[in-house]
Amino acid sequence: MPQPRLICFNKPYGVLSQFTPEGRWRGLKDFIDIHHVYAAGRLDADSEGLLLLTGDGALQARIADPRFKMEKTYLSAVLEQATNLTQDIAVKLKHIVVDLGFRGVDADNPDKEIIHRGKFKRLSQQQKGWLKRRSAVEPAIGHLKSDHRMDRCWLQGAVGDALHSISCAVGYNLRWLMRVIVRLGISPFFLRLLQAVFSQARGLQARYWPEAGIETRCQVI
Dihedral sign (CA 136, 141, 147, 152): negative
Beta strands 38-40 and 49-54, pairing class: antiparallel
221 assigned to some structural domain:
no
pLDDT on residue 73: 58
Q: Are 57 and 39 within one domain? A: yes
77 assigned to some structural domain:
yes
Whole-angstrom Cα distance, residue 67 to residue 166? 40
- Domain at 52, CATH number: 3.30.70.580
SS3 47: coil
Q: Are 129 and 189 within one domain? A: no
Q: Are 55 and 96 within one domain? A: no
Q: Are 86 and 133 within one domain? A: yes
130 assigned to some structural domain:
yes
The better pLDDT of the pair 100, 131 is held by 131
Q: Sorting pLDDT into bands at 50, 70 and 90, what band is 134? A: confident
The better pLDDT of the pair 34, 103 is held by 34
Number of domains in the chain: 3
Is 103's pLDDT higher than 60? yes
Is 108's pLDDT higher than 50? yes
Is 6's pLDDT higher than 50? yes
152 assigned to some structural domain:
no
213 assigned to some structural domain:
no
pLDDT on residue 221: 41
DSSP 11-38: EPTTB-SSSS-BTTBB-GGGT---SS-E
The better pLDDT of the pair 91, 192 is held by 192
pLDDT on residue 14: 80
Domain that holds residue 25: 6-64
Is 167's pLDDT higher than 50? yes
Question: pTM surpassing 0.75?
Answer: no
Q: Are 98 and 142 within one domain? A: yes
Beta strands 6-11 and 38-40, pairing class: unpaired
Q: Are 121 and 141 within one domain? A: yes
Q: Are 90 and 136 within one domain? A: yes
Of 44, 64, 84, the residue that ends a domain is 64
If 0-12 CB within 10 Å is exposed, 13-18 middle and 19+ buried, where does residue 17 land?
A: buried
Q: Sorting pLDDT into bands at 50, 70 and 90, what band is 15? A: confident
Q: Are 126 and 162 within one domain? A: no
Q: Which of 82-96, 134-148, 160-174, 180-194 has the lowest mean pLDDT?
A: 134-148
Whole-angstrom Cα distance, residue 42 to residue 50? 9
